[in-house]
Structures are given as C-alpha cells and as structure tokens.
Chain A
Amino acid sequence: MRFKRAKTTSDTATCAEVMKHLQSYIDGEMRDDVTARRVAAHLEMCRRCGLEFETYKRLKNSLQQLGPLDQQAISRLSQFAQSLGEREDGDEIELG
C-alpha cells in the first residue's frame, strides 16, 4: 500500500506512514530526510497524528527527566522506614 500513493501529494506522508515512523521521528533517528520532511508536513495538517505526536513527545520529555536513582537517598529512606517500625509511638511521630 505504501507504494500506491499516486493520489496523495508526494511531499506529504499518509497517516499510516506517519504511525510507522513516528517513534524514530521523535527520536531524531530517521535515516531518510525526504521521509522525515513528509512526516513533518503531515503532522502540520493532520490533527489525529498531531495529537499522537504530541502525546509521545510529552511522554519522552517526561521520561528524559528520570535520572538514575540516588542510592544514598534510597538508603536514607530505608533507614527512616526502619526507624518507624521501631518506635513505640508510631502515632505520635511528627515530621519537622
């Protein structure tokens, strides 16, 4: 099907093509500049694909903020958790 696109303008990808390349497009991993431009052109005009793009871009953006976990913080929290179990007066503990 991908090769039968005589009716669509060749500088705009179809929805199916966009879905196929969307992840690579978001990651800047598209090998083929012509296809990348056609995807970009399609995203400009198709609301459904545009929303899909925005959603995955936002997801990636959010994932990028997850760094490696600070193991020292984890062990401090683990000690804190331990200390809760050892208190006589769990209900009376107040945080500073």
Chain B
Amino acid sequence: MLDGVSSAMTKLSKRSRKASFDKYVVPELELLYRVALAMTGKPENAEDLVQETLLRAFRAIERFDGRHPRAWLLTILRNALANQVRKKVPLPVSDVDESGNPESVSDHRDSPEFQVVDQAFDGAVAAAFEELPGKFREVVALVDISGMSYAEAAARLGVPVGTVMSRLHRGRTRIREGLKSEELFVEGGQV
C-alpha cells in the first residue's frame, strides 16, 4: 500500500516535472544549441553540452522558480562547460568521447584561460544575437553571418541601403549592450 502511494506520488511529480520542462526548457533548445556551438566551436561537442545541460535542467527543474528561464539555463550550460573544461584540460588523453576518440586539447585556440574568455565572449554574443528583435537580427544575419554586402542585404530585404546600415548598427549596439549586462562575459573589460 505504501508502495502504491509512493508510486502515485512519483507519477505526479514526474508529470509536473515534465510539464515544467516542456514549458521552460524545450522552447530554449535553439538558443542553447546556438550558445553551445559558439562556446565549444564544434557541433558534436555542442550537442553533448546541450544534452548535459538538458539533463541537469531536468534534475533541477523542481527547484526552479520559473523566472528568467534563459538566464537559468545559460548558467547551467556555463557550469556544465566549466566542468568539462576542468575535467579535460589537466588530463587531455584520459577523456574519451562516445566515438572512442580522445578529446584533443590541441583544438584549444590558446591557453585555457584565453579559451575560456573567448568561449564566454562567443557564447554571450550568440545569446545576445538570439535576443535581438527580428528586424535587427535579420540584417545582422545577412551581413555578418551570410557575408552579404549592404547592397545585397538591402535588395534581399527590399529596403534602402541606409536602412540596412542603421539596423545593422543598432543591432550590433544592442548585442554589445547585451554583453555588458551578461555575466557570461566578465573578463577582458573592454566591452
């Protein structure tokens, strides 16, 4: 009988847990993948990192108060990555990924410290990019990500070149402002 009660409670908690997870976490998948990709620089590592983040979020969802899910998830992601970096940097060859290949430390752009700063910066930029209102984001995407000229972007969007320039400038400025408020980027100081 006690077993029956506890199993009913488990089912209930399982259902509310899943409901919260679907409500707060699932809509942020693209953001998480985008940030993970920017921070790890490699699609397969990004996918692992997001999985780890999802798992941690799932375990912690009952303690989450429902406020600022993005910030909460990005904190989890950052911690998960920091944990991986701590594990990987001192013992590069001891860590073997699922395909059986040792994770190579030679991918790291510079010293670990530099890499952490770069990762944090790239991740914060990715998050701030995702936060941009659509009309700024589309111009930034065309010019910076797709590499279009102002004239090409203007033709694509059917707006004057001056509009492309002003949206691009405002979009970038917003990203920069986003970095300032984003604790992801603390080192470096010049932003």
Residues of A within 8 A of B (CB): 23-24, 27, 29, 51, 54-56, 58-60, 62-70, 73-74, 76-78, 80-81, 84-86, 88, 90-91, 93, 95-96
Chain B, residue nearest A68 (CB): B145
- Chain B residues with CB under 8 Å of A56's CB are 172, 176
Q: Which residue of A lies closest to B144 (CB)?
A: A63
Also in contact, A81 and B54, with CB within 8 A (given A70-B43, A76-B47): yes
Set of chain B residues within 8 Å of A59, measured between Cβ atoms:
125, 172, 175-176, 179
> Are A69 and B33 within 8 A (Cβ)?
yes
**Does B59 interact with chain A (Cβ within 8 Å)?**
yes
B142-179, CB < 8 A from A? 143-145, 147, 149-150, 165, 168-169, 172, 175-176, 179
Is the CB–CB distance between A66 and B129 below 8 Å? yes
Q: How many of B's residues come within 8 Å of A, CB to CB?
A: 49
Decide: B38 and A66 in contact? CB cutoff 8 A: yes
Interface status of B26 (Cβ within 8 A of chain A): yes
A-facing mask of B9-29, CB < 8 A → 1, else 0? 010001001100110011001
CA gap between A80 and B175 in the complex, in Å: 30
Contact between A29 and B18, CB atoms less than 8 A apart: no
